[in-house]
Amino acid sequence: MKKLSHFDEQGAARMVDVSAKAITSREAAAGARVTMKASTLKLILDRKLSKGDVLGVARIAGIMAAKKTPDLIPLCHPLNLSSVEISFEPDRGASCIHVTATVRLAGRTGVEMEALTAAAVAGLTVYDMCKAVDKEITISDIRLLKKSGGKSGAFARK
């Protein structure tokens, strides 16, 4: 049975020691879904909200969030990220935007938490910029989509 890596033998929280791990290429992609009124999605896509370019600001917020992950998640390692990409796929039929955050580096530990944090914060930024016109926006389905590199190998959500 696998054990949780962030606890020592006495059950105390700890930062995992990755100093003996090999430096390898690592990548993770995470997603989130931001559901809103159809009229709100139209305002976003037409760039008609008074706060400006919602997706442009959310992209920058997601990138910044990936870089700040160790400041937010206590046991995450500070990492020298090589790349952070945030993409948005509007779905008019479902009245939502699918957010994807992809993070890459060459390092000793993975970037799943950075990708998850980036996707979540990009979704929160959409909410923040649109709350004046739609307080019922929902951010959901924050999840790891895929990862590669490291000892645990590749993962791809089905």
Task: Give the residue carrying structure tokens 């003996």.
Answer: 20
Q: Tokens standing for 64?
A: 């910044």
Determine the distance from the C-alpha atom of residue 141 to the mean position of all C-alpha atoms in its chain, rounded to a whole number: 11
DSSP state letter for 49: -
Residue 66, both tokens: 């990936």
d(CA 35, CA 138): 5
Phi-psi region of 7 (alpha: psi -120 to 50; beta: other; left: phi over 0): beta
Residue 109 backbone phi and psi in degrees, to 5: -145, 160
Strands of the chain, DSSP E: 24-35, 83-91, 96-107, 138-148, 155-156
Active site residues: 128
The H or E element that residue 63 is part of is: helix 54-72
